[in-house]
Amino acid sequence: MRFTAAIMLVGSVASLGFAGTAQATHFTGWYAGIEGGINSISDAKVGNDTIDPFWGGGFAPTVAKFGAGGAVLGTAGWSWPTFRVEGELGYRWNDLNDFLVFGTNYTGGGKLNEFSTMINFLWNPALSSTVDFSLGAGLGGDSINYKNDSGWHTVPIHDTDFVFAWQLIAGLSYHVPALSGDLFVNYRYFNADSPTFTEYDGASRLHDDSYEDLHKHTFTIGIRFH
């Protein structure tokens, strides 16, 4: 359903662009943009209690399932006629719905809130006088605030980790002269590198959730001002 909605948005922007006769989208100079939309996280494998010697290095991988969430992102950068470099700040949020351990589903809930900082490099050739296509990649970091209240652990795990992150970006933009900018739709594949979250008893570490990479899919619509 989310993929269908994104395709419809992309199609709408493209059809508007091919029907228009406004000035070309390409320009050289500074720009800033803001966008928001849907964020989903693929089912993730988790190693439990890898720091507890009683369990011999941890349990077999658990599966964490997250509900659909949201995303808000801001960008600012410099554009050449067919290339852009930008900085990006992003905030994403999702609920932890299910925590499957040895076939038992723990549904006490939890949350994943993330603040990312990225540098993006994008190629944006023109499709028409009003429509640009964007394709690019970004590197940076992801600060993740994690709450696992599923009931699997002796006490809930509430912890934060900062990890390396990278992303791939694709989008379409439609130039609107009256706004001195563009309306656009974007898709991001976002990868956060193996975060680990720990339960503490005072200064002692008791249990942990050691995730494999978190794979996220972010669909947004936004506006960019030249």
Write out pLDDT tens, residues 44-69.
999 877 665 555 556 667 899 999 99
Torsion of CA 129, 133, 134, 135, to 10 degrees: -140
What number of other Cβ atoms are within 10 A of residue 44's Cβ?
21
Measured distance CA(21)–CA(129) in Å, rounded: 7
Sequence-ordered strand ranges (E) for 81-203: 83-101, 104-106, 110-123, 131-148, 157-176, 181-192, 196-201
Burial status of residue 66 (CB atoms within 10 A of its CB: 0-12, 13-18, 19 or more): buried
**pLDDT tens, position by position, 95-146:** 999 999 888 888 888 999 999 999 999 999 999 989 999 999 999 999 999 9
Single-letter amino acid code for the residue at 82: T
Provide the sign of the torsion angle of the four alpha carbons 22, 25, 31, 35, taken in this order: positive
Q: H or E stretch including 12?
A: helix 2-19
Single-letter amino acid code for the residue at 196: T
Q: What is the pLDDT of residue 76?
A: 98
Q: Which residues make Cβ contacts (< 8 Å) with residue 161, sequence separation at least 6? A: 143, 144, 146, 195, 196, 197
Measured distance CA(48)–CA(114) in Å, rounded: 21
Residue ranges of domains in the chain = 2-123+131-209
Q: Which residues make Cβ contacts (< 8 Å) with residue 78, sequence separation at least 6? A: 29, 30, 31, 84, 85, 86
* Residue 11 in this model has a pLDDT that exceeds 70: no
Measured distance CA(61)–CA(157) in Å, rounded: 17
Bridge partner list, 41: 216
Say what the pTM is. 0.84
**pLDDT tens, position by position, 169-198:** 999 999 999 989 999 999 999 999 999 998
